[in-house]
Amino acid sequence: MLAGIMKKIFLLLFLIFSYIQLHSATVVHTTQTDFSSGTFAGWGTDVTSTGGGDIRLGLGGAENMGFSTHTSLCPNMPAARAKHAMVVWNGKMYVAGGRDSSDTAQSTVWYATINADGTVGSWTVTTPMPGERYEHVMTVWNGRLYVSGGYDAVASVQNTVWYANINADGTIGSWIATTSMPDAKVRHAMTSWNGRLYVISGSSEYVWYADINADGTVGNWSATANFGTLNEISAVAWNGRLYVTGGNESTVRYAAINADGTIGSWAATTSMPDVRTVSAMAVWNGRLYVTGGNNLTVSVSSSIFVGSINNTDGSIASWVTSPNPLPECRAK
């Protein structure tokens, strides 16, 4: 009898162990050395959830991955979001607006601490934007969040610019409307450099820029450096230059940012390995990282292109495709 009981216990333990092996998830972190060299030790697998939007650790931080059930090492966002905006500032991640799982526009703003090991802490709701927005853009400068453009709740394109102070505890102060953009925009790009905001494309031929005043307000907008009317682009600023990718092209354009805030002439540099639109781009340690997006056949990609920036003239020396792509295809 004892032998029979022991067999049953062993079988039960085996089944429990097998279930854990099949259903648990492990987050794999890249090393700083690998990240800086343009390679990755490995992307994390799905990490959370039990009914909300899953979070996966990636190049841009945490990414909403839809609905499923997995072992959790990072808390999921409070709800599913698409066509939202996200920035990172002072060790915290901020997500604003977007559309929820029922395709309803939102004004919510959430934030979470990025832990020392790269995981994301619990999400906290903070001051919502003054109105619903999706396909808007957000950037950060000197401890303030800035949001521009996007569709409102009734799908009307907006030219609004709002800003809010980031408090010491990570919460957001009251949102304040400041100088609106000269025209309404969606699917545009916005970045900040040296105390100025830069808005690129979104059906406007010019790059618009404005001074950020000491109190956080935005001064008058001025046009500079005709760029064209490409939409669904990505833009970053690095070492006194603007870089733009996407727009259903493989071309990469860059221009010097002059001392007075104007933009010099645009120049094409080494093209990406493939056409991209509605991708995402980040810059770190002298390299551009372009993730996901669509190509000419409207296929959604998981690839990551890494471009090395020449320190002397700002051009892109070369592009490589990371051997470790995103865990799944992503666009928009």
0.75 exceeded by pTM: no
Model confidence band, residue 120 (pLDDT cutoffs 50, 70, 90): confident
Backbone angles phi, psi at 21, to 5 degrees: -60, -35
Tell which residue, 191, 184, 229, 11, has the closest CA to residue 87: 191
CA–CA distance, 298 with 274 (Å, rounded to integer): 12
Give dist(CA 206, CA 235) in Å, integer.
14
The domains of the chain are located at 47-228, 232-332
What pLDDT does residue 249 have? 86
Give CA–CA dist 282/154, Å, rounded.
31
How far apart CA 198 and CA 179 sit, in angstroms, is: 13
Q: Is 37 left (phi over 0), alpha (psi -120 to 50) or beta?
A: alpha
47-228 topology per CATH: Neuraminidase (2.120.10)
Average pLDDT over residues 91-98: 88
Least confident interval from 185-194, 226-235, 279-288: 226-235
Up-side HSE of residue 21: CA atoms within 13 Å toward CB?
A: 6
Give Cα separations from 190 to 91, 159, 297 (angstroms): 21, 13, 27
What percent of the chain has pLDDT above 70? Answer: 73
Q: Tokens for 307, please give them.
A: 């471009």
Least confident of 103-117, 135-149, 296-310: 296-310
More confident residue, 229 or 21: 229
Q: Is the pLDDT higher at 103 or at 179?
A: 179
Beta 316-321 vs 304-309: how paired, if at all? antiparallel
Choose the weakest-confidence range: 10-14, 113-117, 171-175, 242-246.
Answer: 10-14
Please name the amino acid found at residue 310: N
Comparing 125 with 91, which gets the higher pLDDT?
A: 125
**Res. 167: pLDDT tops 60:** yes
User: Is the pLDDT score of 12 beyond 70?
Assistant: no
Q: Tens digits of per-residue pLDDT, 127-146?
A: 999 999 998 999 999 999 99
- Model confidence at 198: pLDDT above 90: yes
